[in-house]
């Protein structure tokens, strides 16, 4: 078995690298104490520039998991828990088998989002493994036979691919959802999130509108849920810089980075029906849009205007509140 290495590429002068240093020490200590076979190390990319260049390092710090001939980039939050979760996920099998209903229900309790291929060998399974090999950096992929499914799961056909999240599941439909890789990228987030700059950047590549607000997502209609990502944002500093304007606190706002527009609900929300009606008006194009934004906004070194032009974005519905 090839050794697995979790490596931080850093520069001695990099402030973000210095901030990561105590976290990186904790990552190594916890993996070692748990008996993990994952080795943890760090490399001065300025002293070993040829090695860093070989691994495609373009900024600092860069975290990669090296497994055999493959190098997986870590793009998540720089916390001990998130880094360890990434390392354990990527170091294991790309697709994990679920041979029993008990194991299936166990992983449902452990993971907030997971994808499952159901059925035997097929071209769809080959495609699923291919997609999983690329997307394992973001989420978990499993496979199961039909008799291992929870009793509340009903399939329309075999083989199938399903995503389990938000206490329910959604089935992949090649005719409606397009490429499997695009569908997985859209559905890899929970329906309701805490939104910050990093999460918003990631959501910009999902193909969904992004809406930011505190709502009970369990009461949303099935028509809205697949089309909108919900979340909340503490304070209005980031959103103000994003839209280059002033958003009152509290507010409800819908961002559509596919066409650089946002929609601001200008009245207090008193009922769920009022909120759902507002979202419907955004989806059907009848809502009054606000001026274009994002044209000159930089997020994590990427021009969001450029990101918008290269991705069809699911609306982000956001509740902006004070602290």
Q: Which residues are catalytic?
A: 14, 17
The angle at the Cα of 93, spanning 90 to 98, to the nearest 5 degrees, equals: 120
10 Å CB burial of residue 245 (0-12, 13-18, 19+) is: middle
Longest dimension (CA), the chain: 61
CA dihedral 189, 194, 199, 205 (to 10 degrees): 40
Of 79, 90, 98, the closest CA to residue 26 belongs to: 79
For residues 179 and 134, the answer to whether their CB atoms sit within 8 Å is: no
The angle at the Cα of 221, spanning 215 to 227, to the nearest 5 degrees, equals: 85
């Amino acid at each position: 078995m090839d050794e697995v290495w979790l490596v931080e590429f850093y520069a001695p002068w990099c402030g973000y690298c210095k901030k990561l240093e105590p976290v990186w020490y904790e990552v190594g200590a916890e993996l070692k104490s748990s008996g993990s076979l994952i080795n943890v190390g760090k490399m001065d990319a300025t002293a070993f520039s040829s090695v860093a260049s070989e691994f495609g390092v373009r900024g600092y710090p860069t975290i990669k998991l090296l497994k055999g001939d493959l190098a997986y980039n870590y793009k998540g939050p720089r916390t001990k828990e998130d880094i360890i979760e990434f390392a354990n996920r990527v170091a294991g099998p790309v697709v994990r088998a679920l041979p029993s209903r008990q194991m299936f229900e166990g992983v449902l309790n452990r993971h907030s989002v997971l994808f499952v291929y159901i059925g035997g060998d097929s071209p769809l399974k080959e495609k699923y493994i291919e997609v999983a090999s690329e997307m394992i950096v973001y989420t978990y992929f499993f496979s199961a036979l039909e008799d291992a499914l929870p009793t509340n799961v009903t399939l329309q056909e075999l083989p199938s691919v399903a995503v389990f999240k938000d206490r329910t599941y959604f089935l992949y439909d090649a005719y409606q959802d397009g490429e499997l890789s695009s569908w997985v990228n859209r559905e890899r987030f929970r329906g309701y999130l805490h939104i910050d700059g990093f999460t918003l950047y990631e959501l910009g590549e999902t193909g969904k509108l992004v809406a930011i607000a505190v709502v009970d997502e369990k009461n949303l209609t099935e028509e809205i849920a697949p089309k909108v990502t919900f979340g909340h944002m503490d304070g209005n500093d980031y959103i103000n810089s994003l839209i280059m304007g002033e958003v009152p606190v509290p507010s409800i706002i819908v961002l559509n980075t596919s066409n650089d527009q946002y929609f601001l609900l200008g009245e207090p929300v008193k009922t769920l029906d009022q909120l759902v009606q507002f979202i419907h008006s955004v989806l059907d194009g009848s809502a009054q849009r606000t001026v274009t934004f994002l044209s000159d906004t930089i997020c994590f070194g990427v021009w969001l205007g450029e990101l918008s032009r290269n991705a069809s974005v699911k609306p982000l519905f956001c509740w902006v509140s004070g602290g």
